[in-house]
Amino acid sequence: MEYKSENRICQNCKQSFTIELDDFGFYEKIKVPPPTFCPECRIKRRLSWQGYRIFYKRKCDFTGEMIITTYHPDSPYKVYRQDIWWSDQWDPKSYGKEIDWSRPFLEQFKELMLEVPHASLATVYSTMVRSDYCNAASACKDCYLCFKITGGENSAYLNTVVDGKNSIDCSFLNHCELSYGSININKCYKTFFSQDCTECHNIWFSRDLVGCSDCVGCINLRMKQYCIFNKQYTKEEYHRKFLGLDFGTLEDIKKFQKQTEEFMETQPRKQFHGVKNVNVSGEYISNSKNVHDSYLFSNGEDLRYCQFLKSGGAASSYDWSFFGDKSELMYECCWCGLDSSNVKFSAWNYYNQNVEYCFGCHHSRNLFGCVNMPKGEYCILNKQYSKEEYHITVEKIKKQMKEIPYIDKVGRKYFYGEMLPAELAPWYYNEATVYEWFPTTKEKAVKEGCNWRNPDPKEYQKSTVQVPGHIKDVEDKILEAILKCIDCGKNYRIIRMELEFLRRFNLPIPLSCPLCRDRSRIKLLNPMTIFNRKCAKCGVEIKTSYAPERLEIVYCEKCYQQEVY
Ligand SMILES: [Zn+2]
Ligand SMILES: [Zn+2]
Ligand SMILES: [Zn+2]
Protein backbone atom coordinates (compact mmCIF):
# COMPACT_ATOMS: atom_id res chain seq x y z
CA MET A 1 0.00 0.00 0.00
CA GLU A 2 1.18 3.58 -0.69
CA TYR A 3 1.32 5.92 2.33
CA LYS A 4 2.20 9.51 2.98
CA SER A 5 3.12 10.88 6.38
CA GLU A 6 -0.01 11.85 8.25
CA ASN A 7 -0.97 14.03 11.21
CA ARG A 8 -3.34 12.51 13.74
CA ILE A 9 -4.92 13.71 16.97
CA CYS A 10 -3.92 11.75 20.08
CA GLN A 11 -6.87 10.02 21.68
CA ASN A 12 -5.46 10.82 25.11
CA CYS A 13 -3.93 14.33 25.15
CA LYS A 14 -5.68 15.62 21.98
CA GLN A 15 -2.37 16.96 20.63
CA SER A 16 -1.40 16.39 17.03
CA PHE A 17 1.30 13.82 16.23
CA THR A 18 2.83 12.63 13.00
CA ILE A 19 2.96 9.14 11.60
CA GLU A 20 5.75 9.01 9.01
CA LEU A 21 5.97 6.97 5.88
CA ASP A 22 8.49 4.58 7.51
CA ASP A 23 6.20 4.12 10.49
CA PHE A 24 3.39 2.92 8.24
CA GLY A 25 5.90 0.51 6.72
CA PHE A 26 6.69 -0.93 10.15
CA TYR A 27 3.03 -1.21 11.16
CA GLU A 28 2.29 -3.01 7.93
CA LYS A 29 5.24 -5.36 8.41
CA ILE A 30 4.04 -6.46 11.86
CA LYS A 31 0.35 -6.34 10.82
CA VAL A 32 -0.97 -3.75 13.26
CA PRO A 33 -3.05 -0.63 12.66
CA PRO A 34 -1.35 2.75 13.34
CA PRO A 35 -1.54 3.97 16.98
CA THR A 36 -4.21 6.36 18.26
CA PHE A 37 -2.08 7.64 21.17
CA CYS A 38 0.83 10.05 20.55
CA PRO A 39 4.40 8.83 21.29
CA GLU A 40 4.55 10.42 24.77
CA CYS A 41 1.14 9.13 25.84
CA ARG A 42 2.26 5.71 24.60
CA ILE A 43 5.39 5.77 26.79
CA LYS A 44 3.35 6.77 29.81
CA ARG A 45 0.87 3.97 29.19
CA ARG A 46 3.69 1.42 28.83
CA LEU A 47 5.61 2.56 31.90
CA SER A 48 2.43 2.13 33.96
CA TRP A 49 2.98 -1.61 33.48
CA GLN A 50 6.16 -1.79 35.53
CA GLY A 51 5.91 -1.69 39.31
CA TYR A 52 9.15 -2.89 40.78
CA ARG A 53 10.40 -0.97 43.77
CA ILE A 54 7.62 -0.10 46.20
CA PHE A 55 7.55 -3.04 48.59
CA TYR A 56 4.72 -4.19 50.80
CA LYS A 57 4.33 -7.01 53.26
CA ARG A 58 1.35 -9.25 52.63
CA LYS A 59 0.30 -12.87 52.86
CA CYS A 60 1.26 -15.40 50.22
CA ASP A 61 -2.07 -16.70 48.95
CA PHE A 62 -0.60 -20.19 48.60
CA THR A 63 1.36 -20.73 51.84
CA GLY A 64 -0.27 -18.12 54.08
CA GLU A 65 3.11 -16.78 55.23
CA MET A 66 4.13 -13.12 55.16
CA ILE A 67 6.11 -12.18 52.04
CA ILE A 68 7.64 -9.09 50.44
CA THR A 69 5.95 -8.06 47.23
CA THR A 70 5.17 -5.13 44.96
CA TYR A 71 1.44 -5.93 45.17
CA HIS A 72 -0.29 -3.79 47.77
CA PRO A 73 -1.98 -5.87 50.51
CA ASP A 74 -5.33 -4.21 49.70
CA SER A 75 -5.04 -4.84 45.97
CA PRO A 76 -7.45 -7.50 44.73
CA TYR A 77 -4.73 -9.69 43.17
CA LYS A 78 -3.69 -13.16 44.29
CA VAL A 79 0.03 -13.28 45.04
CA TYR A 80 2.26 -16.34 45.39
CA ARG A 81 5.79 -16.50 46.74
CA GLN A 82 8.18 -16.56 43.78
CA ASP A 83 9.40 -20.16 44.08
CA ILE A 84 5.81 -21.42 44.37
CA TRP A 85 4.74 -19.27 41.44
CA TRP A 86 7.44 -20.84 39.26
CA SER A 87 6.72 -24.39 40.45
CA ASP A 88 4.18 -26.93 39.19
CA GLN A 89 2.23 -26.77 42.46
CA TRP A 90 -0.46 -24.83 40.61
CA ASP A 91 -1.69 -24.71 37.03
CA PRO A 92 -2.30 -21.41 35.22
CA LYS A 93 -4.41 -23.26 32.64
CA SER A 94 -6.92 -24.20 35.35
CA TYR A 95 -7.97 -20.51 35.17
CA GLY A 96 -8.60 -20.76 31.41
CA LYS A 97 -11.66 -18.93 30.10
CA GLU A 98 -13.98 -19.38 27.16
CA ILE A 99 -14.20 -16.23 25.04
CA ASP A 100 -17.41 -14.30 25.51
CA TRP A 101 -17.93 -12.78 22.06
CA SER A 102 -20.53 -10.33 23.34
CA ARG A 103 -18.12 -8.45 25.62
CA PRO A 104 -14.84 -6.52 25.04
CA PHE A 105 -11.91 -8.95 24.97
CA LEU A 106 -9.75 -6.82 27.29
CA GLU A 107 -12.51 -6.85 29.90
CA GLN A 108 -12.10 -10.63 29.99
CA PHE A 109 -8.31 -10.19 30.19
CA LYS A 110 -8.89 -7.88 33.16
CA GLU A 111 -10.85 -10.63 34.96
CA LEU A 112 -8.04 -13.07 34.31
CA MET A 113 -5.54 -10.59 35.80
CA LEU A 114 -7.63 -10.70 38.99
CA GLU A 115 -7.99 -14.48 39.07
CA VAL A 116 -4.60 -15.93 38.14
CA PRO A 117 -1.98 -15.71 40.93
CA HIS A 118 0.89 -13.25 40.45
CA ALA A 119 4.54 -13.73 41.38
CA SER A 120 5.45 -11.79 44.53
CA LEU A 121 8.59 -10.38 42.89
CA ALA A 122 10.34 -10.49 39.53
CA THR A 123 13.81 -11.79 40.32
CA VAL A 124 15.70 -14.79 39.08
CA TYR A 125 15.42 -15.91 42.70
CA SER A 126 17.69 -18.95 42.37
CA THR A 127 20.60 -16.59 41.54
CA MET A 128 20.00 -14.22 44.47
CA VAL A 129 22.08 -14.58 47.64
CA ARG A 130 21.14 -12.66 50.79
CA SER A 131 19.41 -10.04 48.64
CA ASP A 132 15.75 -10.34 49.65
CA TYR A 133 14.88 -6.67 49.22
CA CYS A 134 15.82 -6.44 45.56
CA ASN A 135 13.60 -6.73 42.51
CA ALA A 136 13.79 -6.96 38.74
CA ALA A 137 17.13 -8.48 39.63
CA SER A 138 19.39 -11.42 38.97
CA ALA A 139 22.79 -12.63 40.18
CA CYS A 140 22.97 -10.44 43.28
CA LYS A 141 24.92 -11.17 46.43
CA ASP A 142 24.54 -9.16 49.63
CA CYS A 143 22.53 -6.40 47.97
CA TYR A 144 19.84 -4.25 49.50
CA LEU A 145 17.16 -2.24 47.71
CA CYS A 146 18.77 -2.73 44.32
CA PHE A 147 16.50 -2.75 41.29
CA LYS A 148 16.72 -3.57 37.60
CA ILE A 149 20.10 -5.09 38.27
CA THR A 150 22.01 -7.92 36.63
CA GLY A 151 25.04 -8.82 38.70
CA GLY A 152 25.40 -6.98 42.00
CA GLU A 153 27.64 -7.47 44.99
CA ASN A 154 27.75 -5.82 48.38
CA SER A 155 25.73 -2.83 47.17
CA ALA A 156 22.68 -0.85 48.16
CA TYR A 157 20.22 1.56 46.54
CA LEU A 158 21.22 0.89 42.93
CA ASN A 159 18.83 1.31 40.01
CA THR A 160 19.34 -0.02 36.48
CA VAL A 161 22.75 -1.60 36.81
CA VAL A 162 24.81 -4.22 35.07
CA ASP A 163 27.59 -5.49 37.29
CA GLY A 164 27.79 -3.12 40.26
CA LYS A 165 30.13 -3.85 43.15
CA ASN A 166 30.57 -2.20 46.54
CA SER A 167 28.52 0.76 45.38
CA ILE A 168 25.82 2.78 47.06
CA ASP A 169 23.22 5.18 45.69
CA CYS A 170 23.86 5.02 41.95
CA SER A 171 21.64 4.76 38.88
CA PHE A 172 22.43 3.55 35.37
CA LEU A 173 25.78 1.95 36.16
CA ASN A 174 27.65 -0.45 33.91
CA HIS A 175 30.55 -2.46 35.31
CA CYS A 176 31.43 -0.12 38.18
CA GLU A 177 32.90 -0.43 41.61
CA LEU A 178 33.07 1.68 44.77
CA SER A 179 30.85 4.42 43.44
CA TYR A 180 28.47 6.74 45.18
CA GLY A 181 25.82 9.26 44.20
CA SER A 182 26.56 8.85 40.49
CA ILE A 183 24.48 8.33 37.36
CA ASN A 184 25.14 7.07 33.85
CA ILE A 185 28.60 5.75 34.60
CA ASN A 186 30.41 3.13 32.56
CA LYS A 187 33.40 1.00 33.58
CA CYS A 188 34.45 3.27 36.44
CA TYR A 189 36.06 2.79 39.82
CA LYS A 190 35.53 5.21 42.71
CA THR A 191 33.24 7.78 41.14
CA PHE A 192 31.46 10.16 43.48
CA PHE A 193 28.60 12.51 42.58
CA SER A 194 29.54 12.20 38.92
CA GLN A 195 27.63 11.77 35.70
CA ASP A 196 28.10 10.58 32.10
CA CYS A 197 31.66 9.28 32.63
CA THR A 198 33.48 6.32 31.09
CA GLU A 199 36.59 4.43 32.19
CA CYS A 200 37.53 6.79 35.01
CA HIS A 201 38.71 6.38 38.56
CA ASN A 202 38.90 8.59 41.62
CA ILE A 203 36.65 11.27 40.23
CA TRP A 204 34.41 13.60 42.20
CA PHE A 205 31.63 15.95 41.07
CA SER A 206 32.54 15.48 37.41
CA ARG A 207 30.71 15.16 34.12
CA ASP A 208 31.45 13.78 30.72
CA LEU A 209 34.97 12.55 31.40
CA VAL A 210 36.61 9.69 29.49
CA GLY A 211 39.69 7.82 30.66
CA CYS A 212 40.42 10.29 33.48
CA SER A 213 41.57 9.79 37.04
CA ASP A 214 41.99 11.96 40.12
CA CYS A 215 39.76 14.82 39.00
CA VAL A 216 37.38 17.01 40.95
CA GLY A 217 34.66 19.26 39.50
CA CYS A 218 35.78 18.59 35.92
CA ILE A 219 33.89 18.41 32.64
CA ASN A 220 34.68 17.36 29.05
CA LEU A 221 38.17 16.02 29.78
CA ARG A 222 39.79 13.12 27.94
CA MET A 223 42.66 11.08 29.42
CA LYS A 224 43.53 13.68 32.07
CA GLN A 225 44.80 13.31 35.61
CA TYR A 226 45.10 15.65 38.62
CA CYS A 227 42.64 18.34 37.52
CA ILE A 228 40.32 20.51 39.58
CA PHE A 229 37.72 22.57 37.70
CA ASN A 230 39.56 21.51 34.54
CA LYS A 231 42.79 23.13 35.74
CA GLN A 232 45.88 20.93 35.56
CA TYR A 233 47.93 20.46 38.73
CA THR A 234 51.00 18.40 39.52
CA LYS A 235 50.40 15.21 41.46
CA GLU A 236 51.66 16.80 44.68
CA GLU A 237 49.63 19.98 44.27
CA TYR A 238 46.51 17.96 43.48
CA HIS A 239 46.84 15.77 46.56
CA ARG A 240 47.50 18.76 48.76
CA LYS A 241 44.41 20.49 47.41
CA PHE A 242 42.32 17.32 47.63
CA LEU A 243 43.27 16.83 51.28
CA GLY A 244 42.00 20.34 51.94
CA LEU A 245 38.54 19.39 50.69
CA ASP A 246 36.08 17.99 53.23
CA PHE A 247 32.84 16.43 51.97
CA GLY A 248 31.83 15.10 55.38
CA THR A 249 28.72 17.28 55.77
CA LEU A 250 25.78 17.88 53.45
CA GLU A 251 26.51 21.62 53.59
CA ASP A 252 30.07 21.03 52.32
CA ILE A 253 28.70 18.94 49.48
CA LYS A 254 26.00 21.43 48.54
CA LYS A 255 28.48 24.30 48.57
CA PHE A 256 30.89 22.40 46.37
CA GLN A 257 28.12 21.29 44.03
CA LYS A 258 27.04 24.90 43.59
CA GLN A 259 30.59 25.96 42.78
CA THR A 260 30.84 23.07 40.30
CA GLU A 261 27.58 24.04 38.62
CA GLU A 262 28.73 27.62 38.22
CA PHE A 263 31.97 26.44 36.64
CA MET A 264 30.19 23.96 34.37
CA GLU A 265 27.80 26.63 33.12
CA THR A 266 30.83 28.27 31.49
CA GLN A 267 31.80 25.06 29.66
CA PRO A 268 30.20 23.71 26.46
CA ARG A 269 27.95 20.64 26.32
CA LYS A 270 27.59 18.33 23.37
CA GLN A 271 24.15 18.45 21.73
CA PHE A 272 23.76 14.73 22.34
CA HIS A 273 25.16 12.11 24.75
CA GLY A 274 26.44 9.05 22.94
CA VAL A 275 29.14 7.74 20.61
CA LYS A 276 29.64 5.53 17.56
CA ASN A 277 26.20 6.01 16.00
CA VAL A 278 24.96 6.04 12.43
CA ASN A 279 21.71 7.85 11.67
CA VAL A 280 20.50 8.20 15.25
CA SER A 281 18.24 10.69 17.06
CA GLY A 282 17.23 10.84 20.69
CA GLU A 283 19.43 10.97 23.79
CA TYR A 284 21.98 8.72 25.58
CA ILE A 285 22.41 6.28 22.68
CA SER A 286 25.64 4.59 21.62
CA ASN A 287 26.85 2.01 19.09
CA SER A 288 23.53 2.13 17.26
CA LYS A 289 22.25 2.40 13.73
CA ASN A 290 18.98 3.76 12.33
CA VAL A 291 17.51 4.55 15.73
CA HIS A 292 15.14 7.47 16.22
CA ASP A 293 13.34 9.28 19.01
CA SER A 294 14.79 6.85 21.50
CA TYR A 295 16.46 7.07 24.87
CA LEU A 296 19.17 5.48 26.92
CA PHE A 297 20.62 2.30 25.45
CA SER A 298 23.40 1.02 23.26
CA ASN A 299 23.70 -1.52 20.44
CA GLY A 300 20.29 -0.98 18.85
CA GLU A 301 19.32 -1.18 15.20
CA ASP A 302 16.22 -0.04 13.31
CA LEU A 303 14.34 1.21 16.35
CA ARG A 304 11.96 4.06 17.02
CA TYR A 305 10.38 5.25 20.28
CA CYS A 306 12.40 2.78 22.37
CA GLN A 307 13.83 3.38 25.83
CA PHE A 308 15.99 1.71 28.47
CA LEU A 309 17.04 -1.38 26.57
CA LYS A 310 19.88 -3.48 27.84
CA SER A 311 22.95 -3.61 25.73
CA GLY A 312 22.93 -6.11 22.90
CA GLY A 313 20.82 -6.91 19.91
CA ALA A 314 17.61 -4.93 20.10
CA ALA A 315 16.40 -4.70 16.51
CA SER A 316 13.47 -3.80 14.24
CA SER A 317 11.14 -2.60 16.98
CA TYR A 318 8.95 0.36 17.95
CA ASP A 319 7.59 1.53 21.28
CA TRP A 320 9.52 -0.74 23.59
CA SER A 321 10.56 0.21 27.13
CA PHE A 322 12.75 -2.16 29.15
CA PHE A 323 14.61 -4.45 28.77
CA GLY A 324 16.01 -5.61 25.45
CA ASP A 325 18.57 -8.39 25.24
CA LYS A 326 18.68 -10.05 21.82
CA SER A 327 15.09 -9.42 20.76
CA GLU A 328 13.37 -8.15 17.65
CA LEU A 329 10.01 -7.20 16.22
CA MET A 330 8.81 -5.89 19.56
CA TYR A 331 5.96 -3.39 19.58
CA GLU A 332 4.24 -1.66 22.51
CA CYS A 333 6.02 -3.76 25.11
CA CYS A 334 7.18 -2.95 28.59
CA TRP A 335 9.59 -5.06 30.62
CA CYS A 336 9.98 -7.60 27.80
CA GLY A 337 12.92 -9.15 26.02
CA LEU A 338 15.61 -11.83 26.29
CA ASP A 339 15.62 -13.81 23.04
CA SER A 340 12.10 -12.69 22.20
CA SER A 341 10.53 -11.88 18.88
CA ASN A 342 7.19 -10.66 17.66
CA VAL A 343 5.84 -9.63 21.06
CA LYS A 344 3.12 -6.98 21.12
CA PHE A 345 0.98 -5.11 23.67
CA SER A 346 2.51 -7.02 26.56
CA ALA A 347 4.32 -6.57 29.86
CA TRP A 348 6.76 -8.58 31.96
CA ASN A 349 7.49 -11.39 29.50
CA TYR A 350 10.76 -12.92 28.37
CA TYR A 351 11.93 -15.73 26.08
CA ASN A 352 8.77 -15.36 24.01
CA GLN A 353 7.73 -15.72 20.40
CA ASN A 354 4.50 -14.56 18.78
CA VAL A 355 2.81 -13.27 21.89
CA GLU A 356 0.15 -10.56 22.12
CA TYR A 357 -1.71 -9.01 25.04
CA CYS A 358 0.06 -11.08 27.67
CA PHE A 359 1.33 -10.41 31.17
CA GLY A 360 3.78 -12.62 33.07
CA CYS A 361 4.17 -15.26 30.36
CA HIS A 362 7.76 -16.47 29.94
CA HIS A 363 9.33 -19.16 27.76
CA SER A 364 6.16 -19.14 25.69
CA ARG A 365 5.03 -18.98 22.10
CA ASN A 366 1.76 -18.29 20.32
CA LEU A 367 -0.22 -16.82 23.19
CA PHE A 368 -2.98 -14.23 23.06
CA GLY A 369 -4.48 -12.53 26.12
CA CYS A 370 -2.85 -14.83 28.68
CA VAL A 371 -1.84 -14.03 32.25
CA ASN A 372 0.97 -15.53 34.30
CA MET A 373 1.48 -18.56 32.13
CA PRO A 374 5.09 -19.67 31.74
CA LYS A 375 5.85 -22.26 29.08
CA GLY A 376 2.50 -21.97 27.29
CA GLU A 377 1.72 -22.53 23.65
CA TYR A 378 -1.46 -21.93 21.59
CA CYS A 379 -3.44 -20.52 24.51
CA ILE A 380 -6.02 -17.73 24.62
CA LEU A 381 -7.20 -16.38 27.99
CA ASN A 382 -5.14 -19.22 29.52
CA LYS A 383 -7.23 -21.86 27.69
CA GLN A 384 -5.51 -24.42 25.50
CA TYR A 385 -6.34 -24.53 21.77
CA SER A 386 -5.05 -26.67 18.93
CA LYS A 387 -2.66 -24.90 16.53
CA GLU A 388 -5.35 -24.55 13.84
CA GLU A 389 -8.09 -23.40 16.22
CA TYR A 390 -5.67 -20.95 17.81
CA HIS A 391 -4.83 -19.11 14.59
CA ILE A 392 -8.46 -18.94 13.42
CA THR A 393 -9.65 -17.74 16.85
CA VAL A 394 -6.94 -15.07 17.16
CA GLU A 395 -7.98 -13.55 13.81
CA LYS A 396 -11.59 -13.58 14.99
CA ILE A 397 -10.65 -11.80 18.27
CA LYS A 398 -8.70 -9.09 16.41
CA LYS A 399 -11.84 -8.43 14.36
CA GLN A 400 -14.04 -8.49 17.44
CA MET A 401 -11.70 -6.00 19.22
CA LYS A 402 -12.26 -3.59 16.34
CA GLU A 403 -16.03 -3.93 16.68
CA ILE A 404 -16.33 -4.02 20.49
CA PRO A 405 -13.32 -2.11 21.90
CA TYR A 406 -12.54 -1.94 25.60
CA ILE A 407 -13.51 1.50 26.92
CA ASP A 408 -11.69 2.75 30.02
CA LYS A 409 -13.17 4.88 32.79
CA VAL A 410 -12.39 8.17 31.05
CA GLY A 411 -13.75 6.97 27.72
CA ARG A 412 -10.56 6.09 25.81
CA LYS A 413 -11.12 3.26 23.36
CA TYR A 414 -8.77 0.29 23.01
CA PHE A 415 -9.22 -1.36 19.64
CA TYR A 416 -6.90 -4.10 18.48
CA GLY A 417 -3.51 -2.38 18.09
CA GLU A 418 -3.46 -0.46 21.38
CA MET A 419 -1.25 -1.37 24.33
CA LEU A 420 -3.04 -2.77 27.40
CA PRO A 421 -4.84 0.06 29.21
CA ALA A 422 -2.92 1.48 32.19
CA GLU A 423 -5.97 0.94 34.41
CA LEU A 424 -5.58 -2.84 34.06
CA ALA A 425 -2.01 -2.75 35.44
CA PRO A 426 -1.57 -4.13 38.97
CA TRP A 427 0.26 -0.96 40.09
CA TYR A 428 -1.05 2.53 40.58
CA TYR A 429 0.51 5.55 38.86
CA ASN A 430 2.75 6.49 41.80
CA GLU A 431 3.87 2.88 42.28
CA ALA A 432 5.00 2.38 38.69
CA THR A 433 7.99 3.46 36.60
CA VAL A 434 5.82 6.04 34.84
CA TYR A 435 5.91 8.19 37.98
CA GLU A 436 9.72 8.38 37.87
CA TRP A 437 9.81 9.81 34.36
CA PHE A 438 6.50 11.68 34.31
CA PRO A 439 5.96 12.86 37.87
CA THR A 440 2.60 14.47 38.54
CA THR A 441 0.17 15.24 41.34
CA LYS A 442 -2.59 12.99 42.59
CA GLU A 443 -5.23 15.42 41.27
CA LYS A 444 -3.82 15.43 37.74
CA ALA A 445 -3.26 11.67 37.66
CA VAL A 446 -6.78 10.91 38.83
CA LYS A 447 -8.22 13.38 36.31
CA GLU A 448 -6.41 11.47 33.56
CA GLY A 449 -8.01 8.25 34.73
CA CYS A 450 -5.00 6.88 36.62
CA ASN A 451 -5.16 5.20 40.01
CA TRP A 452 -3.19 6.72 42.89
CA ARG A 453 -1.93 5.03 46.06
CA ASN A 454 -2.42 7.12 49.20
CA PRO A 455 0.50 7.08 51.65
CA ASP A 456 0.29 4.82 54.68
CA PRO A 457 0.55 7.07 57.80
CA LYS A 458 2.43 4.29 59.62
CA GLU A 459 5.41 4.96 57.33
CA TYR A 460 5.54 8.67 58.17
CA GLN A 461 6.53 8.64 61.86
CA LYS A 462 8.79 11.15 63.60
CA SER A 463 12.52 10.58 63.35
CA THR A 464 13.99 8.91 66.42
CA VAL A 465 17.40 10.50 66.01
CA GLN A 466 19.11 13.84 65.55
CA VAL A 467 21.51 13.11 62.68
CA PRO A 468 24.95 14.65 63.38
CA GLY A 469 26.09 17.08 60.68
CA HIS A 470 29.49 15.47 60.10
CA ILE A 471 30.02 11.79 59.43
CA LYS A 472 32.87 11.66 61.98
CA ASP A 473 30.34 12.35 64.74
CA VAL A 474 27.94 9.56 63.71
CA GLU A 475 27.78 6.63 66.11
CA ASP A 476 26.78 3.04 65.35
CA LYS A 477 23.49 3.47 67.18
CA ILE A 478 22.17 5.29 64.07
CA LEU A 479 21.68 1.79 62.65
CA GLU A 480 18.78 1.27 65.08
CA ALA A 481 17.22 4.66 64.43
CA ILE A 482 14.26 5.58 62.26
CA LEU A 483 14.95 8.56 60.03
CA LYS A 484 12.41 10.77 58.29
CA CYS A 485 13.01 11.92 54.72
CA ILE A 486 13.29 15.72 54.44
CA ASP A 487 11.74 15.57 50.95
CA CYS A 488 8.78 13.18 51.18
CA GLY A 489 8.51 12.61 54.94
CA LYS A 490 8.73 8.83 54.64
CA ASN A 491 10.73 6.81 57.15
CA TYR A 492 13.95 5.07 56.20
CA ARG A 493 16.97 3.49 57.83
CA ILE A 494 20.72 3.51 57.53
CA ILE A 495 22.24 0.05 57.06
CA ARG A 496 25.66 -1.13 58.19
CA MET A 497 27.11 -1.53 54.69
CA GLU A 498 26.12 2.04 53.95
CA LEU A 499 27.48 3.46 57.19
CA GLU A 500 30.83 1.75 56.63
CA PHE A 501 30.99 3.11 53.09
CA LEU A 502 30.14 6.65 54.21
CA ARG A 503 32.80 6.53 56.94
CA ARG A 504 35.42 5.11 54.59
CA PHE A 505 34.97 7.94 52.09
CA ASN A 506 34.07 10.68 54.58
CA LEU A 507 30.53 11.24 53.30
CA PRO A 508 27.55 12.46 55.34
CA ILE A 509 24.41 10.53 56.30
CA PRO A 510 21.78 11.33 53.66
CA LEU A 511 18.72 13.17 54.97
CA SER A 512 16.39 11.99 52.21
CA CYS A 513 15.09 8.46 51.67
CA PRO A 514 16.58 6.06 49.06
CA LEU A 515 13.66 6.62 46.69
CA CYS A 516 13.94 10.42 46.77
CA ARG A 517 17.72 10.10 46.32
CA ASP A 518 17.21 7.97 43.22
CA ARG A 519 14.56 10.31 41.84
CA SER A 520 16.78 13.35 42.32
CA ARG A 521 19.56 11.54 40.41
CA ILE A 522 17.18 10.65 37.57
CA LYS A 523 16.32 14.37 37.36
CA LEU A 524 19.98 15.06 36.51
CA LEU A 525 19.61 13.23 33.21
CA ASN A 526 18.51 15.16 30.18
CA PRO A 527 14.87 14.52 29.28
CA MET A 528 13.47 12.31 26.53
CA THR A 529 12.08 15.34 24.72
CA ILE A 530 14.09 16.72 21.79
CA PHE A 531 14.15 20.46 21.03
CA ASN A 532 15.42 22.63 18.20
CA ARG A 533 18.27 24.90 19.21
CA LYS A 534 21.26 26.64 17.58
CA CYS A 535 24.88 25.65 18.21
CA ALA A 536 26.29 28.30 20.55
CA LYS A 537 29.51 28.45 18.52
CA CYS A 538 28.74 28.13 14.81
CA GLY A 539 25.00 28.81 14.86
CA VAL A 540 23.97 25.70 12.96
CA GLU A 541 20.49 24.28 13.76
CA ILE A 542 20.75 21.32 16.12
CA LYS A 543 18.37 18.85 17.70
CA THR A 544 19.06 18.42 21.40
CA SER A 545 17.49 17.42 24.68
CA TYR A 546 18.72 20.71 26.19
CA ALA A 547 15.59 22.86 26.09
CA PRO A 548 16.24 26.30 24.51
CA GLU A 549 15.65 28.09 27.81
CA ARG A 550 18.31 26.06 29.63
CA LEU A 551 21.46 27.96 30.58
CA GLU A 552 24.01 25.42 29.34
CA ILE A 553 26.21 26.38 26.38
CA VAL A 554 25.32 23.72 23.82
CA TYR A 555 27.59 22.96 20.86
CA CYS A 556 26.96 20.90 17.78
CA GLU A 557 28.89 17.65 17.52
CA LYS A 558 31.57 19.20 15.29
CA CYS A 559 32.27 22.28 17.41
CA TYR A 560 32.30 20.14 20.57
CA GLN A 561 34.88 17.76 19.12
CA GLN A 562 37.13 20.70 18.17
CA GLU A 563 36.92 22.00 21.71
CA VAL A 564 37.35 18.76 23.60
CA TYR A 565 39.87 16.60 21.79
ZN1 LIG B 1 -0.96 12.19 23.56
ZN1 LIG C 1 11.75 10.58 50.44
ZN1 LIG D 1 28.66 24.22 15.88
Number of domains within the chain: 4
Backbone phi, then psi, for 260, in 5-degree steps? -65, -45
Average pLDDT over residues 460-487: 97
* 402 plus 284 within the same structural domain: yes
11 domain residue, yes or no: yes
* 264 plus 322 within the same structural domain: no
pLDDT for the residue 4: 83
172-185 pLDDT tens trace? 999 999 999 999 99
What's the CA-to-centroid distance between 232 and ligand 1, angstroms?
49
Average pLDDT over residues 462-467: 96
What's the CA-to-centroid distance between 556 and ligand 3, angstroms?
4
Ligand number with the minimum distance to the CA of 44: 1
Average pLDDT over residues 284-290: 96
495 domain residue, yes or no: yes
Q: Say yes or no to pLDDT of 565 above 70.
A: no
381 domain residue, yes or no: yes
Please, which pLDDT band fits residue 313 given cuts at 50, 70 and 90? confident
What's the CA-to-centroid distance between 218 and ligand 2, angstroms?
29
363-422 pLDDT tens trace? 999 999 999 999 999 999 999 999 999 999 999 999 999 999 999 999 999 999 999 999
79 domain residue, yes or no: no
* 284 plus 395 within the same structural domain: yes
Torsion, CA 26, CA 30, CA 34, CA 38, rounded to 10: -70
40 within 8 A of 13, measured Cβ to Cβ: yes
Q: Say yes or no to pLDDT of 2 above 80.
A: no
Last residue of a domain, one of 406, 424, 440: 406
Average pLDDT over residues 293-298: 95
% pLDDT > 90, the chain: 98
* 541 plus 521 within the same structural domain: no
15 domain residue, yes or no: yes
What's the CA-to-centroid distance between 511 and ligand 2, angstroms?
9
* 318 plus 392 within the same structural domain: yes
* 364 plus 399 within the same structural domain: yes
Q: Say yes or no to pLDDT of 311 above 80.
A: no
348 domain residue, yes or no: yes
Please, which pLDDT band fits residue 28 given cuts at 50, 70 and 90? very high
* 234 plus 295 within the same structural domain: no
Sequence-ordered strand ranges (E) for 325-384: 327-337, 341-350, 352-356, 364-368, 377-380, 383-384
Ligand number with the minimum distance to the CA of 520: 2
103 within 8 A of 95, measured Cβ to Cβ: no
Structural domain of residue 37, as residue ranges?
A: 6-44
What's the CA-to-centroid distance between 486 and ligand 2, angstroms?
7
Q: Mean pLDDT for the chain?
A: 96
Helix crossing, 105-115 with 387-403: angle to 10°? 120
* 399 plus 352 within the same structural domain: yes
Last residue of a domain, one of 367, 389, 406: 406
* 317 plus 251 within the same structural domain: no
pLDDT for the residue 310: 79
What's the CA-to-centroid distance between 554 and ligand 3, angstroms?
9
What's the CA-to-centroid distance between 19 and ligand 1, angstroms?
13
160 domain residue, yes or no: no
Last residue of a domain, one of 406, 434, 466: 406
Ligand number with the minimum distance to the CA of 16: 1
Ligand number with the minimum distance to the CA of 459: 2
Q: Say yes or no to pLDDT of 150 above 60.
A: yes
* 189 plus 213 within the same structural domain: yes
74-84 pLDDT tens trace? 999 999 999 99
Sequence-ordered strand ranges (E) for 179-277: 183-186, 189-192, 195-198, 201-204, 213-216, 225-228, 231-232, 268-270
What's the CA-to-centroid distance between 207 and ligand 2, angstroms?
25
* 398 plus 288 within the same structural domain: yes
Q: Say yes or no to pLDDT of 1 above 60.
A: no
Ligand number with the minimum distance to the CA of 511: 2
196 domain residue, yes or no: yes
What's the CA-to-centroid distance between 559 and ligand 3, angstroms?
4
Average pLDDT over residues 49-67: 97
pLDDT for the residue 215: 98
What's the CA-to-centroid distance between 399 and ligand 1, angstroms?
25
Closest to 310 measured CA to CA, from 350, 345, 344: 350
* 199 plus 223 within the same structural domain: yes
